[in-house]
Chain A
């Protein structure tokens, strides 16, 4: 079945550091890929998405490119802020009714 593997956390960074969270997927079809963010005590928010190979999703300084050849969708941000501290989830949808999530990566940014 479909699955998502993302790098384990926690990840701790200093402000203005570069952030990368690796995400790879397994799917039988051609999935859409997503990154969600969960701030402390809140629900999940869609951060960005890509629906086909070579698409780049971007939002709030975050970027991820859909790489079919490596089945990856790594999340990057060039200069993180304290407010980026959150749990980040990679997810895929290859079925009409189900979004499958990775295990989540906790990111803490220190001033």
Chain B
């Protein structure tokens, strides 16, 4: 039973389209995150939610909109996709507000390719 699951695993789409990536965790964690990994493997946090409340929004374009219907789900919707959005997007979760001592559990990633 996958702890943090993302769908889809691969997503190829044209510029200008709107797409969503879904994430679910069955660990009972309070906090969920979206990270973007670029082609050089660099990881950057995009958003963090704690119990459905947005905590971190790291200067991400407004075209990206996270939604957390409950604390087990954090979806990412992207409008008007651009070539530069091509990356691997990782969802993660941690057991409480302070992930400091626990680290995060990551999903397996969604590889988004915009053509």
Q: Which residues of A contact B (CB under 8 A)?
A: 31-32, 34, 36, 38, 42-46, 49, 51, 87, 89, 93-94, 96-101, 103-104, 106
Whether A97 contacts B48 by the Cβ 8 Å rule is yes
With A43-B90, A103-B41, A104-B42 as contacts: A97 and B106 at CB distance below 8 Å:
no
Partner of B109, one of A43, A45, A96: A43
**What are 14 sample pairs from A and B whose C-beta atoms fall under 8 A apart?**
A32-B100, A34-B103, A36-B103, A43-B108, A43-B109, A51-B100, A93-B100, A96-B97, A97-B48, A98-B48, A98-B56, A101-B42, A101-B44, A103-B42
**Whole-angstrom distance between the Cβ of A78 and the nearest chain B Cβ:** 24
The 3 closest A-B pairs by CB, nearest first: A43-B106, A104-B41, A101-B43
Question: Dominant SS at the A interface?
Answer: strand
Whether B98 contacts A45 by the Cβ 8 Å rule is no
Q: Which residues of B contact A (CB under 8 A)?
A: 4, 31, 33, 40-45, 48, 50, 55-56, 90, 92, 97-101, 103-109
Whether A49 contacts B103 by the Cβ 8 Å rule is yes
With A97-B48, A98-B48, A106-B41 as contacts: A51 and B101 at CB distance below 8 Å:
yes
Q: Chain A contacts of B41 at CB under 8 A?
A: 38, 87, 103-104, 106
Alpha-carbon distance between A101 and B75 when the two chains are bound, in angstroms:
22
Whether A97 contacts B43 by the Cβ 8 Å rule is no
Alpha-carbon distance between A98 and B31 when the two chains are bound, in angstroms:
10
Alpha-carbon distance between A45 and B92 when the two chains are bound, in angstroms:
11
Whether A46 contacts B109 by the Cβ 8 Å rule is no
Partner of B50, one of A32, A34, A51, A97: A97
